[in-house]
């Protein structure tokens, strides 16, 4: 049988990926195009008429100062959270692969937060911040202590803490796989050559694990930019709307303020930014990969 | 060949599992299951979902009509959920929505209910462009909730809400309570809907002509800082802030905790509404609770009235997705609520709602609802204003009033921020 004809290739493609292509088109491509169309209407999200308004929504999205403020906030939140998540994940991954007692138990323990839904853990942490920490701090400092969630910077800090707690376990798994993939031989050879533990991590393990870093950074960056569930259940924009991140602003614009078109346009801008940042990061990361 | 067969089988299994995810809910909404029709209700008063489900079972036993009750998602607006169902051509037969949603949805989707018998028994129904669209589910009102037992414990006298209708008298009582050992007698919720949708909205609602006032705000012509109603209500708010038990971290007060403190008499007053009963009754509450108007130093009589009216409205779907039998069943259900003893007791006893119909006996209501009923019967309700811009509640409630509650903003700044907000706000057509 000839395997290089076009019809053969199409048949092969349809055989293996035909169903997924249809489903992917239905649930991703078509809604995406329809969403693009909606950005050019002044639909309120409810009524039957969707008046066409051209690029008005993009103009109002660009002039919506609240959106850009929340986007700036998202950048700050993401930058800090991404660094912390990966640093913490890398360190615990190193610890649970170094052969300490009960390391499987620790791996499971660190991973568990990731199994909880963002909404649930948001409410759990809200209780911890508002009640447990306040009680503790009150006992130490005495008097009416403000919860972290009641201050503008504190609320963002709380979001970062919870995100790190949630994602670090998942990223740890990827780093653990990275550590496992570094061949024992190389490490041993380095040891014989007189490499110290730290040196072998920096000069041997990390370069060989670039693939893990690329993956983890990509996952954390996109997740942080799009975060909504924890934002909703932990702070819901309080205090004074100062902790509303971009996704929450988009949601409120579309569904609470009933400017569906503007909200959709803002969502598209968020998507483009996210895609650019993620794309650059993967491109740069891939270039730096080392083949052992 | 064998390998090929195996891969085909695997592909078939994978696609089957994918397809199975999508097709499961198609069979449930048919009206063809022999005995009777089946209708769906969207319930957006999530606190009565359990009662609703129990009622649905009883109702099916009694009438043969199957009622499926869906609990609205509290994380998103009711209107968007209704819209989603319409977009997928699978609307609820009966939709419970807020007043402003009735105005925006009625033209497209609501069935005209003018010929129903219950229409003459209520004044709270909503008519849109000549079409009676909204069936009032209940009456709700806002004001100050009080715990009379907690007050009596300190003052030694029975508490008469009429004696503290002015802010001066109210402040004197707060001082007396404070001297008697209750250090901070007031609770204020920090949620934006309470601050923006319930408290600050009184500034518009208590104007002689709310519509003209809001329009002039929208036009940027109103001098809010020197408006009498604004200042009277903000004076009262200042007092509430001053005696707030959570002062210092006020923007982070917990609704459950505040309600519990009121129920158990740790605080004596809380700004809220009769819906707060569903939270209060979870705790060990004392007997004599009630509601009174927000005390104000005013002469316009608004300090003797609660603010409120019909709340949550049913509208019946008029689209082709609902069959005539289903629509009839929906109309029968609304009649059952108003005219059947079982329906009445579902509203007033099971759900503790203040009925909006004059023929329904409501003596079994909870104390807060009884207060509302008393004010409603005396005609002492200031109507809700339903045409505030959609984001008024979040902007004024969260970005402005929450900051003021935290004493991080002055009154002049509040006035200026509200005026600035209205200049860019999108008016609601009506």
- Partner residue opposite B108 with nearest CB, options A48, A119, A150: A48
B139 CB neighbour count, 10 Å cutoff: 27
> What does the pLDDT read at residue B238?
95
Q: Please give the distance of CA A63 from its chain centroid, rounded to a whole number.
A: 27
User: Given an 8 Å threshold on Cβ–Cβ distance, is A255 in contact with B398?
Assistant: no
Pick the closest to residue B111 from B320, B394, B356 (CA basis).
Answer: B320
State the average pLDDT over residues A245-252.
Answer: 92
199-228 of B, contacting A, C-beta below 8 A: none
User: Given an 8 Å threshold on Cβ–Cβ distance, is A240 in contact with B426?
Assistant: no
User: Given an 8 Å threshold on Cβ–Cβ distance, is B251 in contact with A16?
Assistant: no
**Token pair belonging to B379:** 């005609």
- Residue A33 CA to residue A148 CA, distance in Å, equals 42
Q: How far is B406 from chain A (nearest CA, A)?
A: 9
Q: What is the pLDDT of residues A105-139, one digit of tens each?
A: 999 999 998 888 888 989 999 999 988 888 888 88
Question: Coil, strand or helix: which one is B60?
Answer: helix
- Residue B430 CA to residue B424 CA, distance in Å, equals 18
Residue A90 clears pLDDT 70, i.e. is over it? yes
- Residue A61 CA to residue B116 CA, distance in Å, equals 46
Pick the closest to residue B77 from A247, A42, A255 (CA basis).
Answer: A255
> What does the pLDDT read at residue B34?
40
Asked if the C-beta of B15 comes within 8 angstroms of chain A's C-beta atoms, the answer is yes
User: Given an 8 Å threshold on Cβ–Cβ distance, is B80 in contact with A150?
Assistant: no
> What does the pLDDT read at residue B77?
77
Asked if the C-beta of B83 comes within 8 angstroms of chain A's C-beta atoms, the answer is yes
Q: How far is B193 from chain A (nearest CA, A)?
A: 12
Question: Coil, strand or helix: which one is B354?
Answer: strand
Q: What is the pLDDT of residues B31-90, one digit of tens each?
A: 444 457 899 999 998 888 999 999 999 999 999 999 999 998 876 778 888 888 888 889
State the average pLDDT over residues A41-64.
Answer: 84
Residue of B nearest to A17 (CA): B11
Residues in chain B with CB shorter than 8 Å from the CB of A130 are 252, 254
Asked if the C-beta of B406 comes within 8 angstroms of chain A's C-beta atoms, the answer is yes
Name all contacts of B253-260 with Cβ < 8 Å and 24+ positions apart. B253/B187, B253/B188, B253/B189, B253/B190, B254/A130, B255/B189, B255/B191, B255/B279, B258/B187, B258/B188, B258/B189, B259/B187, B259/B283
Asked if the C-beta of B361 comes within 8 angstroms of chain A's C-beta atoms, the answer is no
User: Given an 8 Å threshold on Cβ–Cβ distance, is A255 in contact with B77?
Assistant: yes
Residue A180 is part of a domain; what is its CATH number?
1.10.3720.10
Question: Coil, strand or helix: which one is B266?
Answer: coil
Residue A20 lies in a domain: no
Question: Coil, strand or helix: which one is B195?
Answer: helix
User: Given an 8 Å threshold on Cβ–Cβ distance, is B399 in contact with A241?
Assistant: yes
**Token pair belonging to B141:** 């009102």
Residue bearing tokens 């709270």: B124
235-274 of B, contacting A, C-beta below 8 A: 247-249, 251-252, 254
Low-confidence ranges of chain B (pLDDT < 70): 1-35, 75
Q: What is the pLDDT of residues B208-261, one digit of tens each?
A: 999 999 999 999 999 999 999 999 999 999 999 999 998 888 888 888 899 999
- What ipTM score was computed for the predicted complex, to two decimals? 0.78
Q: How far is A154 from chain B (nearest CA, A)?
A: 12
Domain formed by B36-140+309-376, architecture: 3-Layer(aba) Sandwich (3.40)
Residue A84 clears pLDDT 60, i.e. is over it? yes
Show Cβ contacts of residue B208 under 8 Å, excluding neighbours closer than 6 positions.
B300
Assess whether the previous peptide bond of B369 is cis (omega < 30° from 0).
no
> What does the pLDDT read at residue B35?
53
- Partner residue opposite A255 with nearest CB, options B18, B80, B406: B80
Residue A4 clears pLDDT 90, i.e. is over it? no
Residue of A nearest to B254 (CA): A130
- Identical fold, B36-140+309-376 and B141-204+226-308+380-385: yes
State the average pLDDT over residues A11-24.
Answer: 92
- Residue A132 CA to residue A117 CA, distance in Å, equals 21
> What does the pLDDT read at residue A143?
65
- Partner residue opposite B249 with nearest CB, options A47, A146, A259: A146
Asked if the C-beta of B424 comes within 8 angstroms of chain A's C-beta atoms, the answer is no
Residue A11 lies in a domain: no
Residues in chain B with CB shorter than 8 Å from the CB of A258 are 79, 390
Q: How far is B99 from chain A (nearest CA, A)?
A: 15
Asked if the C-beta of B23 comes within 8 angstroms of chain A's C-beta atoms, the answer is no
Say how many domains are in chain A.
Answer: 1
CATH class of B141-204+226-308+380-385: alpha beta
> What does the pLDDT read at residue B54?
92
Do A159 and A234 form a contact (C-beta atoms < 8 A)?
A: yes
Residue of A nearest to B391 (CA): A257
- Rounded to 5 degrees, φ, ψ at A224 are -65, -40
B256 CB neighbour count, 10 Å cutoff: 11
- Partner residue opposite B249 with nearest CB, options A20, A144, A241: A144
Residues in chain A with CB shorter than 8 Å from the CB of B249 are 134, 144-147, 150
Show Cβ contacts of residue B216 under 8 Å, excluding neighbours closer than 6 positions.
B222
For an interface test with A, the pick among B80, B188, B196, B405 (most A C-beta atoms closer than 10 Å) comes out as: B80
Enumerate chain A positions whose Cβ falls within 8 A of a Cβ in B: 15-16, 19-20, 23, 44-48, 119, 130, 134, 144-147, 149-150, 232, 237-241, 252, 255-259
User: pLDDT band for position A43 (50/70/90)?
Assistant: confident
Residue A43 lies in a domain: no
Residue A17 lies in a domain: no
Asked if the C-beta of B351 comes within 8 angstroms of chain A's C-beta atoms, the answer is no
Residue span of the structural domain in which A248 resides = 64-287
Alpha helices by DSSP H, B269-323:
277-280
List, in sequence order, every residue forming a beta bridge with B94; answer none if it has no partner.
B41, B316
Helix (H) or strand (E) holding B72: none
Per-domain boundaries in chain B: 36-140+309-376, 141-204+226-308+380-385
Q: How far is B261 from chain A (nearest CA, A)?
A: 16
For an interface test with B, the pick among A49, A239, A260 (most B C-beta atoms closer than 10 Å) comes out as: A239
State the average pLDDT over residues A61-87.
Answer: 93
Q: Please give the distance of CA B299 from its chain centroid, rounded to a whole number.
A: 28
DSSP letters along chain A, please? --SSSHHHHHHHHHHHHHHHHHHHIIIIIHHHHHHHHHTTB---SSSS---B-TTHHHHHHHT-HHHHHHHHHHHHHHHHHHHHHHHHHHHHHHHHHTT-TTHHHHHHHHHGGGGS-HHHHHHHHHHIIIIIIHHHHHHHH-S-PPPGGGSHHHHHHHHHHHHHHHHHHHHHHHHHHHHHHS-HHHHHHHHHTT--HHHHIIIIIHHHTHHHHHHHHHHHHHHHHH--HHIIIIITTTTTTTT--HHHHHHIIIIIS--HHHHHHHHHHHHHHHHHHHHHHHHHHHHT----
**Share of residues in chain A with pLDDT > 70 (%):** 98
State the average pLDDT over residues A215-222.
Answer: 91
Task: Compare A201 and B2 and report the one with higher pLDDT.
Answer: A201
Q: How far is A163 from chain B (nearest CA, A)?
A: 20
Residues in chain B with CB shorter than 8 Å from the CB of A20 are 18
Residue A98 clears pLDDT 70, i.e. is over it? yes
Task: Compare A47 and A255 and report the one with higher pLDDT.
Answer: A255
Q: How far is B58 from chain A (nearest CA, A)?
A: 33
User: Given an 8 Å threshold on Cβ–Cβ distance, is B406 in contact with A238?
Assistant: no
Residue A17 clears pLDDT 70, i.e. is over it? yes
> What does the pLDDT read at residue B32?
40
User: Given an 8 Å threshold on Cβ–Cβ distance, is B11 in contact with A144?
Assistant: no
Pick the closest to residue B355 from B340, B337, B380, B371 (CA basis).
Answer: B337
- Residue B84 CA to residue B69 CA, distance in Å, equals 17
User: Given an 8 Å threshold on Cβ–Cβ distance, is B391 in contact with A256?
Assistant: yes
């Amino acid at each position: 049988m000839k395997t290089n004809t076009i019809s053969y290739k199409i048949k092969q493609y349809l055989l293996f990926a035909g169903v997924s292509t249809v489903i992917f088109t239905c649930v991703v491509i078509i809604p995406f195009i329809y969403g693009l169309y909606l950005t050019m209407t002044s639909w309120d999200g409810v009524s039957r008429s969707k008046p066409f308004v051209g690029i008005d929504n993009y103009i109002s999205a660009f002039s919506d100062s609240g959106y850009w403020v929340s986007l700036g906030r998202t950048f700050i939140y993401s930058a800090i959270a991404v660094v912390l998540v990966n640093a913490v994940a890398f360190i615990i991954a190193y610890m649970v692969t170094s052969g300490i007692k009960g390391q499987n138990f620790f791996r499971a323990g660190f991973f568990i937060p990731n199994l909880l839904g963002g909404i649930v853990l948001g409410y759990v942490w809200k209780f911890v911040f508002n009640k447990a920490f306040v009680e503790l701090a009150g006992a130490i400092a005495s008097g009416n202590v403000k919860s972290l969630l009641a201050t503008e910077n504190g609320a963002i800090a709380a979001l970062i803490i919870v995100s790190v707690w949630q994602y670090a376990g998942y990223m740890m798994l990827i780093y653990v796989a990275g550590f496992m993939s570094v061949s024992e031989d190389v490490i041993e050879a380095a040891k014989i050559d007189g490499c110290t533990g730290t040196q072998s991590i920096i000069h041997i393990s990390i370069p060989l694990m670039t693939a893990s870093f690329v993956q983890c950074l990509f996952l954390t960056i996109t997740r942080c930019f799009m975060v909504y569930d924890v934002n909703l259940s932990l702070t819901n924009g309080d205090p004074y709307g100062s902790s509303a991140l971009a996704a929450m602003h988009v949601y409120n614009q579309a569904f609470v303020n009933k400017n569906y078109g503007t909200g959709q346009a803002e969502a598209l801008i968020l998507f483009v930014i996210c895609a650019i940042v993620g794309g650059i990061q993967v491109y740069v990361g891939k270039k730096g990969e080392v083949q052992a | 060949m064998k390998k090929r067969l195996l891969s085909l089988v695997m592909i078939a299994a994978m696609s089957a599992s994918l397809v199975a995810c999508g097709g499961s809910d198609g069979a449930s909404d048919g009206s063809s299951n022999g005995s009777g029709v089946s209708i769906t209700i969207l319930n957006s008063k999530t606190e009565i979902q359990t009662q609703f489900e129990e009622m649905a079972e009883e109702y099916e036993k009694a009438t043969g009509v199957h009622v499926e009750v869906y609990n609205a998602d509290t994380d998103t607006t009711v209107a968007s959920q209704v819209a989603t169902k319409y977009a997928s051509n699978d609307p609820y037969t009966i939709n419970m929505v807020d007043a402003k949603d009735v105005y925006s949805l009625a033209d497209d989707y609501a069935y005209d209910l003018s010929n129903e018998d219950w229409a003459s028994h209520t004044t709270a129904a909503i008519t849109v462009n000549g079409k009676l669209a909204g069936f009032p589910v209940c009456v709700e009102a806002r004001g100050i909730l009080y715990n009379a037992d907690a007050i009596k414990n300190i003052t030694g006298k029975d508490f008469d809400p009429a004696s503290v209708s002015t802010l001066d008298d109210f402040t004197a009582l707060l001082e007396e309570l404070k001297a008697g050992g209750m250090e901070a007698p007031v609770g204020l919720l920090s949620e934006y809907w309470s601050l923006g949708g319930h408290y600050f909205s009184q500034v518009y609602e208590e104007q002689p002509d709310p519509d003209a006032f809001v329009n002039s705000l929208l036009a940027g012509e109103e001098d809010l800082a020197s408006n009498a109603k604004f200042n009277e209500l903000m004076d009262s708010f200042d007092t509430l802030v001053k005696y707030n038990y959570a002062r210092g971290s006020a923007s982070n007060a917990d609704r459950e905790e505040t309600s519990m403190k009121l129920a158990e008499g740790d605080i004596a007053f809380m700004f809220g509404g009769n819906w707060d009963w569903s939270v209060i009754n979870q705790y060990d509450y004392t007997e004599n609770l009630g509601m009174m108007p927000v005390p104000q130093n005013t002469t316009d009589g608004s300090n003797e009235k609660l603010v409120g009216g019909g709340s949550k409205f049913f509208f019946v779907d008029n689209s082709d997705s609902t069959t005539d039998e289903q629509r009839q069943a929906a109309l029968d259900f609304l009649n059952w609520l108003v005219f059947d003893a079982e329906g009445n007791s579902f509203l007033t006893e099971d759900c503790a709602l203040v009925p909006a119909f004059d023929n329904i006996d409501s003596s079994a209501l909870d104390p807060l609802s009884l207060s509302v009923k008393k004010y409603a019967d005396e005609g002492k309700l200031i109507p809700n204003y339903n045409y505030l811009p959609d984001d008024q509640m979040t902007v004024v409630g969260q970005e402005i009033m929450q900051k003021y509650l935290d004493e991080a903003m002055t009154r002049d700044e509040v006035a200026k921020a509200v005026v600035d907000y209205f200049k860019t706000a999108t008016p609601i057509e009506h």
